[in-house]
Chains A and B, each alone.
Chain A
Amino acid sequence: MRNFQYLAAAWFAIWLVFFLYQISLSRRFSRLLEEVKRLKERLQ
């Protein structure tokens, strides 16, 4: 195994970027869903 540390770092970085982006999307989704619920309740 030569230069394995670079390969491991790249593999870790790919998962980290996708994971962080997925978390960011999920947080934005929940915030907006709550907002929709609140506004719909206010309109009723």
Chain B
Amino acid sequence: MNRRIASSLIVAGLMCIAGYAALFIAPDERTMHDAQRIFYFHMPSWIAMFLAFFLSVLGNITYLFTRKQRYDWLGVAGAEVGVVCCTIGLITGALWGRPAWGIWWTWDARLTTTFLLWLLYISYLVLHSMVEDADRRARISAVFGIFAFLDVPLVYVSNRFWRTQHPAPVFFGGPNTGVDPAMGRVLLLCFAAMVSVMTVLLLDRYHLERLRCEVSLLTSETESRDLEQRHRMARERV
């Protein structure tokens, strides 16, 4: 438990440093001013989300091949933390959209595919919590997790293939893309902070799932022992 608190404090400190850099060190953007600084957390939250969902699908695929429970734990941990990062991305996106576009939300390709991704992974988590039997739960969730992940590349290419209200890609978007080196350094720090938060949360969630499995094993052990005791008492009475 102490290690959990220590790691949480370290990443909270890193987030504070990244926040300071984004708010006070990064240069001011000419047209949007302070609203542009939301970008320093908006984009890293998507990267953290992609990483979390990638780990989740990796867990799902590996589970189907090996049938080892720990890969199901990775699948559910990645999905849940990915949903948290996605929620941050959606909220910060809406808060940037209001001053930039004059609207909180629009149903363009990028935003719609992202919202769909959020819904798909929420469904994954609901499905995972609904099935009682551990093996069946892991198998069904793994298949659904792979299906949900199909939307991830669609989100990535949505503003490359279609004309969207969402800005064009800042990185890997062809010529004339990228940011000022001073902005790039702050962005890198924010990436590191957000990915660290994601990693700490993912490890915590993984351990939580392991603990849940331990509870389930202990429960079945207790139940079988109680049953055995009842049988013995019944035999003694006879």
Give residues in A with beta carbon < 8 Å to B. Answer: 1-4, 6-7, 9-11, 13-15, 17-18, 21-22, 25, 28-29, 32-33, 35-36, 39-40, 42-43
Number of A-B contacts (CB under 8 A): 91
Asked whether B208 is an interface residue with its Cβ less than 8 Å from the other chain, the reply is: yes
Residues of B in contact with A, size category:
35 or more
Tell me the complex Cα distance, A35–B211, Å. Answer: 10
Interface string of B77-101 (1 = CB under 8 A from A): 0000000100110011001101100
Assess A10 versus B95: contact at CB under 8 Å? Given A3-B32, A21-B201, A28-B208: yes
**Closest A residue to B201 using CB positions:** A21
Shortest Cβ gap from A43 to chain B (Å): 6
Whole-angstrom distance between the Cβ of B13 and the nearest chain A Cβ: 13
Residue B168 at the chain A interface, CB threshold 8 Å? no
Choice from A6, A11, A32 contacting B96 with Cβ under 8 Å:
A6
Residue in contact with A1 in the complex, picked from B1, B34, B219, CB distance below 8 Å: B34
Q: Is the CB of A10 within 8 A of B41?
A: yes
**Contact call B84/A29, Cβ cutoff below 8 A:** no
